[in-house]
Amino acid sequence: MDFSLSGLSSGFDWKTFIDQIMAVQNAPIDKLNAEKITNINKSAALVDLNTKVAALQASSTALSSAGLFTGRTAASTTANSTWNPSAAPGTASGSYTIAVSKLATVAHRDGAADVGKALNDTDDVSALTIANLPTKIGIGAGTFSVNGQKVTVSLTDSLDQVFAAISTATGGAVTASYDHATDKITLAGTGEIVLGAANDTSNFLSAMHLTNNGTDTISSSGSLGSVNVSATLANARLKSDITAVDGAGDGSFVVNGVTIAYNLNNDSVDAVLQRINQSGAGVTASYDGVADRFVLTNSVTGDTGIAVSEAAGGLMDALGLTGAAALVRGQNAEFSINGGATLISASNTLDASIHGITGLSVTVDSQATQTISVAGDTSGMRKAIEDFVAKFNDIQSYIADQSKVSTTVDGKVTTAVLSKDREVQSWSDTLRSIAFGAVSGVTGTISRLENLGIDFNGATNQLSIKDGAKLDTALRDKAGDVAEFFQTDTTGLTAQVQTFLTKISAQNSDQQDQLSKSNNDIVSQIAAIQRRLDQQRQLLTNSFIAMETAQSQLKTQSDALTRAFPTTSSSSS
C-alpha cells in the first residue's frame, strides 16, 4: 500500500496541511525575492540614467569643441550661384567681392593625327569584310542612301562588294574606290552626289567620313584606319614601327620625369595608357579614335608644361607624342578681390595661398563677379547649445520621474524605483546648481546662462531658451564671450558639467556594484532558507507517512481480532 497518498488510512489531508505550513514558512523567501526584484529594477534605472549621462557628456564635449564658436559660413550673394565658397574657423567675417576675368584650364599635349595604319596596304579591298574593318567606328548592317537609292550592307560583305552595290543601286551613276596612300574612299558621280536619308539604318557613310559637299566627287574627310588599342604593341596597327627596344621587346619612356616601362610583345596600348595614368606623372593619357591620335592631359589646371622624352624609335614616337605633338598650354585663372590688383592662380580654387585671406576658399566655374559673405556659423553654435539643453533636461526629467512619490485619491502612496535614493536625487540638485551658477574667471559679458536668454522653468527644474532673440544676438555679436563662458578651462560651464558627470558615472557604477552584490547575497540566503524548508517538508512528510502506516497496522490487527472473536447474540423465541 502506498502510504505517501495523503489520508489513505487516517482520512486526514496531511499534504494540504504541510503545504499550508510551508507557505507560512516561505514568507522570508518571498520577501527576499521582492527585494531582489526591487534591486534589479533599480539597477536597470541606473543603467538608463547612465546612458543619459553619457549623452550629456557627448553634448558637453561638442559644446567645448575648439572650432565651434569660431566656425564660419561662406555664401555667395548671387542667386543660384554655382561657385563653391568655404570658410575655415576663424576666417575674418565680412564681404569679399571677387571678379574672375579668366578661368584656369588644363594643358594638353595633342599627338599627331592618323598614327594608325591604313585600312589596307593596297587599293584592292576585296579581302576586307565589313565586320573586320579596322576603322575608328564600327559599321552596322542595314541600309544607307546614295542619290536616293538604298544600298544594303551586310557584315559579311567585303568593302569591294559594297562599292559594287553602290554602283548597281545608282545605275552606274556613282562609283566608289579606295586609295591606300591617303587611306580614304572616294565617290565619283556623273553629277552632284547626294548622300543619306532619314530612314537609313547603317552608319556606313559616317564611319567612312563621307558627307555631302554639293559636288560630283566626295572623299573621306579623314583617314579611315585606326589603332587597335587592345592588341599588343607589336600588333596594334601603329603606322610607325617601335624599334627602341631590346631583344626581349622591353623599352621605356619618360613623362614629366617619371619612367614608364613597356614590353612590345606583352603590353597592349590600353595597358600602357593605364600605366601612365596610374603613375606619378600627373597626366591622363587617352586615345582619340575619331582623330586617330593620342593625347596627354595635365591632371591639374594652369599654364604648366608636359615633358616627354625617349630614345629615337620608341613608343611615344609611334604614338605621335614626340616631335609632331603640339602642346596646348593651359591657362591660369585671373581675378581680383574688392577691386584690388589682378591675382593669378593655377587653379580655379582661389585660396589663401593666392589671395591672402586666411581660411577663405572659393572654387569658381565662371567668368563673373560675385560677392562672398563670411559670417559666424550661428546655426551650428545654437544647435550645439540646444542639444546641451535637451540632454540636460532629459536627465532632470528621468531622475524626477524615477524618484517621484505619488498619492492616489484613495490615499494609496506609490513610490518610484529610485524614490529612496538620496544620492541620485542629489545629482539632479547639483547639476541644476552648476547650470544656475555663475562662471568665474571670464572677462566677457556672459557669465550665466541667463545672459544667453536661457533660464530654468521653475515648475519642472528644466532649462528653457526663454529669449531666443537674445541668444541669437549673443552668438552673432559676442561669439568670443560665449566661447569663454562655455569653454574656459576648469571653470567654464562645460568643464564643470564634465567634471561632475564623471563623478556621477563613478557613483552610478558603485551603486550598481552594490546592488549586484546585494542580489548575490539574497540568492545565497534564499538557497539556505530553501534547503531548511525542504528538510522540514521532508520531515513532516515522513512523520505523516509513519502515522498512516501505524494506523493501517492497527486497523489490520483490529480486523483480525474481529474475525477471530466474532460477536455472538441470542434471541428468545
pLDDT tens digits, 93-110: 999 999 999 999 999 999
- If one compares 33 and 160, the residue with the highest pLDDT of the two is 160
Can you give the pLDDT at residue 554?
Answer: 81
Q: Residues 240-299: pLDDT tens digits?
A: 999 999 999 999 999 999 999 999 999 999 999 999 999 999 999 999 988 889 999 999
Tens digit of each residue's pLDDT (9 = 90 or more) over 386-428:
999 999 999 999 999 999 988 877 888 888 999 888 999 999 9
The tens digit of pLDDT for each residue in 474-505 reads: 999 999 999 999 999 999 999 999 999 999 99
506-534 average pLDDT score: 90
What share of the chain has pLDDT > 90, as a percent?
A: 75
Mean pLDDT of 535-553: 81
Q: Report the alpha-carbon distance of residue 483 to residue 125 in Å, rounded.
A: 83
| % of the chain at pLDDT higher than 70 | 97
Predicted local confidence at residue 287, as pLDDT: 95
CA–CA separation, 453 vs 143, rounded Å? 80
Whether 1 has a pLDDT exceeding 60, the answer reads no
pLDDT at 10 over 70: no
Checking 269-276 for CB contacts under 8 A at 24+ apart, the result is 269/227, 269/228, 269/229, 269/230, 269/231, 269/233, 269/236, 269/319, 270/229, 270/230, 272/233, 272/315, 273/229
The rounded distance, in Å, linking the Cα atoms of 193 and 204 is 16
Predicted local distance difference test score (pLDDT) of residue 572: 46
The x, y and z cell numbers of residue 489, run together, are: 578651462
456-471 confidence digits (pLDDT tens) = 887 677 899 999 999 9
Residues in CB range of 107: below 8 A, 6 or more apart: 297, 298, 302, 303, 304, 305, 306, 327, 328, 329, 330
| Residue 569 pLDDT level (bands cut at 50, 70, 90) | low
Mean predicted confidence (pLDDT) in 555-566: 81
Indicate the DSSP class of residue 67. T
- What does the pLDDT read at residue 567? 66
Average pLDDT score over residue span 47-70: 94
pLDDT in tens, 321-373: 998 899 999 999 999 999 999 999 999 999 999 999 999 999 999 999 999 99
Is 363 exposed, middle or buried (CB count within 10 Å of its CB: 0-12, 13-18, 19+)?
middle
- Other CB atoms closer than 10 Å to residue 11's CB: what's the count? 9
pLDDT the model gives residue 551: 77
CA distance 448 to 456: 12
Q: Which residues pair with 375 in a beta bridge?
A: 73
Domain spans in the chain, listed from the N-terminal domain onward: 54-68+379-491, 72-104+332-376, 137-219
Cβ distance 195 to 211 under 8 Å? yes
Q: Quick one: pLDDT band at residue 573, thresholds 50, 70, 90?
A: very low
Query: What's the predicted TM-score (pTM) here?
Result: 0.65
- Over range 168-175, report the average pLDDT: 96
Q: Which residues fall within 8 angstroms of residue 533, CB to CB, at 6 or more apart?
A: 22, 25, 26, 29
- Whether the pLDDT of residue 3 is over 50: the answer is no
Average pLDDT of the chain is 92
How far is the C-alpha of 287 from the C-alpha of 304, rounded, in Å?
Answer: 21
Q: Which residue has cell 555631302?
A: 212
How is residue 449 annotated by DSSP? G
